[in-house]
Amino acid sequence: MPCTTTGGSYMAFRRGDVLLVPFPFSDLSTSKVRPAVVVSSSLYHATEPDLILAAITSQVGTATGPMDYVLRDWRAAGLHYPSALKPVLFTLDPARVIYHVGALTPADLA
């Protein structure tokens, strides 16, 4: 399972974890630090080293697409603003995770 060492502690990432990561622009020219959620499963993590992440945005007004999802429990997930998941997926080496923000609640993970 992917993990990172932060302050001497071992952390394994799971589906639903909210992480602060360098989010790549679509042209891969640069990245910006943004929250994202782990969408890859433990089965995937058993054989693959990278995380599969989905973008999180605080611009909930733009979350109007059929695949967008406005989080009900954004505060419980450790986010500071009302937020939505966007269908923008990318892979990331777990060593690049900056911070473990929290986790989606079962209601938002369903």
Choices 3.30.360.10, 2.40.30.10, 2.30.30.110, 3.60.110.10: CATH for 3-103: 2.30.30.110
Q: Which pLDDT band holds residue 29 (cuts at 50, 70, 90)?
A: confident
Residue 48's CB is within 10 A of a number of other CB atoms, namely 12
How does the average pLDDT of the chain come out, rounded? Answer: 89
**Residues listed for the chain:** 110
Q: Where are the domains of the chain?
A: 3-103
Q: Which of 26, 15, 4, 27 is nearest to 85 (CA)?
A: 15
Q: Is the pLDDT of residue 1 over 50?
A: no
- In the predicted model, what is the mean pLDDT of residues 93-103? 95
pLDDT higher at 5 or 50 = 50
